[in-house]
Amino acid sequence: MIVFNNEIEFELDNPEVITTWISQSIENEGFEEGEINYIFCSDEYLLEKNVKFLKHNTLTDIISFDYSMGKLVSGDIFISIDRVIDNAKTFDVSFNDELNRVMIHGILHYCGYKDKTDDEKMLMCSKEDYYLSLRKF
C-alpha cells in the first residue's frame, strides 16, 4: 500500500494515477509492493532528519528509510518540496517531472539500485528515465 503524507501545505496531483505508476514500476522490477509512505516536507524538516539519522548537515531532496524484506518493498520516503522546486529550476524541467523522478528514485533504491559510483549513477538515471517514460499522466 502506498500512502502520501504531508508535513507541509502540499497536494499531490493525480495521487491514484501516481500510485498505479509506482506499483507497476515495482512489479516490473520483480518486487512486491509492501507499505510505502511518502512524506512531503520542507528543507528544514528534511535537514533535521538528515542530521539526526544520517549525520549529514546538508540539504537534500530525498531520504529513504528501507524496511524491505526479500522481494517485499517497504519504507518511508521523505521528499523536500523546497529542493524539488529548486532542482526543477536548475535542471530546467517541470516541477511534476522532477517530483516524479525523485519519487521513483526512492523506489529504485528499495529495488537494490545504488548511486554512489559513476556507473551506479548512470544505471540509476537510466532506470529513472525509463520509468518516467512509462507515466500515463
Binding-site residue set: 105, 109, 115
The binding site for Zn(2+) comprises: 105, 109, 115
Q: What value, to the nearest 5°, has the Cα angle with vertex 94 and ends 64 and 74?
A: 20
SS3 (DSSP) at 131: helix
* Sequence-distant (≥ 6) Cβ neighbours of residue 35 within 8 angstroms: 1, 3, 67, 74
Inter-residue contact 128 to 91 (CB < 8 Å): no
Cell of 71: 522481494
Cβ neighbours, 10 Å, residue 121: 13
